[in-house]
């Protein structure tokens, strides 16, 4: 009997170890294109179905000049709560942009069973507001295994012939490299391809990109099933106590169906999302 009790305890211990330490986090980054009051309930439901399998979601391009942006995030969280898991969320203040038309909000949504907020309230990095058009939004989570993970949510300024986005990427890179964060994941619409010179310093300083050239934005017009435009969304990571398990583009478009692209570009976004999975 004593042997059986010891075996039972061992089985319970192994099971708990697997459940606590053998898990992973799926983090999704998505530019949701003017996410605000124009999104109807059907669109909110469709978007929720796309991200419900994630554990943390970083959203860019939440409308700032109207309260409908923040309200749309709340509606999305409410819809996610109907999918079988409990979700929480935080929305940033409007970015300190050069124009109200360029200012946006960011949002993070997460499953409360997987992570909790730590390290204080999430915040925009105000020290970068004089350098970047839309300063990044920072949040820190603690996993069930007590590991801390730091997420930076960012939407670069748009293209001009002078490439100001290069200066933005370099400024954020320098800021990150001067911090002491652990397990950093930088999500966003970078508006630059990953082999651009702007990423040279951070990629040579321990960071790795999830994507290496895969296109993530949708063309205005789809021709003969060719609907992908640019490779400018990405996720960069530098993991110290967690391990990288994989990453990919989540393509919500039916391959080769141009009609599908037309309505999904409006109902979902003109960007595909990116997933990174890390072992916790």
Are 108 and 117 contacting, i.e. CB atoms less than 8 angstroms apart? no
pLDDT at 29 over 50: yes
pTM of the model: 0.91
Residue 225 region by backbone torsions, left for phi larger than 0, else alpha for psi between -120 and 50, else beta: left
Phi then psi for residue 6, to 5 deg, are: -65, -40
- Looking only at the bridges linking them, the beta strands covering 24-35 and 56-63 are parallel
> Could you tell me which of 108, 182, 141, 119 has the C-alpha nearest to residue 25?
141
Are 80 and 48 contacting, i.e. CB atoms less than 8 angstroms apart? yes
CATH number of 2-279: 3.60.10.10
pLDDT at 146 over 60: yes
Q: Under DSSP, is residue 76 helix (H, G, I), strand (E, B) or coil?
A: helix
Residues in the chain: 280
Q: Under DSSP, is residue 104 helix (H, G, I), strand (E, B) or coil?
A: strand
* Spatial CB neighbours of 162, under 8 Å, sequence gap ≥ 6: none
* Spatial CB neighbours of 122, under 8 Å, sequence gap ≥ 6: 90, 92, 108, 137, 138, 139, 140
The half-sphere exposure of 60 on its side-chain side, counting CA atoms within 13 A, is 30
* Spatial CB neighbours of 71, under 8 Å, sequence gap ≥ 6: 36, 37
- Report the C-alpha gap between 169 and 165 in whole angstroms: 6
pLDDT digits (tens, 9 = 90+) for 159-208: 666 678 899 999 999 999 999 999 999 999 999 999 999 999 999 999 99
Residue-wise DSSP of 113-144: TTEEEEEEEEEE-GGGTTTSSS--EEEEEEET
H or E, element range at 2: helix 2-21
**pLDDT at residue 255, rounded to an integer:** 80
Q: Where are the domains of the chain?
A: 2-279
Percentage of residues of the chain with pLDDT beyond 90: 86
Determine which of 17-26, 73-82, 140-149 has the lowest per-residue pLDDT on average: 17-26
Mean pLDDT of 77-101: 96
């Amino acid at each position: 009997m004593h042997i059986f009790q010891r075996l039972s305890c061992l089985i319970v211990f192994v099971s708990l170890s697997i459940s606590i330490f053998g898990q992973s986090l799926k983090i999704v980054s998505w530019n949701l294109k003017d996410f605000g009051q124009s999104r109807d309930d059907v669109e909110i439901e469709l978007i929720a179905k796309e991200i419900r399998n994630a554990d943390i979601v970083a959203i860019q391009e939440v409308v700032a000049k109207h309260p409908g942006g923040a309200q749309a995030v709340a509606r999305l969280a409410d819809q996610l709560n109907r999918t079988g898991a409990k979700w929480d969320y935080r929305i940033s203040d409007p970015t300190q942009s050069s124009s109200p038309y360029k200012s946006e909000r960011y949002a993070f949504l997460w499953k409360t069973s997987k992570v909790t907020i730590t390290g204080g309230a999430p915040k925009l990095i105000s020290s970068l507001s004089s350098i970047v058009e839309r300063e990044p939004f920072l949040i820190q989570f603690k996993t069930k295994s007590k590991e801390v993970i730091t997420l930076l949510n960012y939407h670069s300024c748009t293209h001009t012939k002078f490439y100001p986005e290069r200066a933005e990427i370099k400024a954020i890179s320098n800021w990150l490299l001067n911090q002491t964060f652990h397990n950093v994941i930088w999500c966003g619409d970078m508006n630059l391809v990953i082999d651009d010179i702007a990423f040279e310093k951070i990629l040579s300083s321990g960071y790795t990109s999830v994507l290496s050239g895969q296109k993530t934005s949708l063309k205005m017009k789809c021709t003969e099933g060719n609907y992908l435009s640019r490779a400018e969304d990405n996720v960069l990571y530098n993991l110290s106590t967690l391990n990288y398990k994989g990453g990919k583009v989540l393509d919500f478009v039916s391959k080769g169906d141009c009609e599908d692209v037309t309505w999904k570009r409006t109902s979902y976004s003109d960007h595909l999302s990116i997933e990174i999975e890390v072992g916790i």
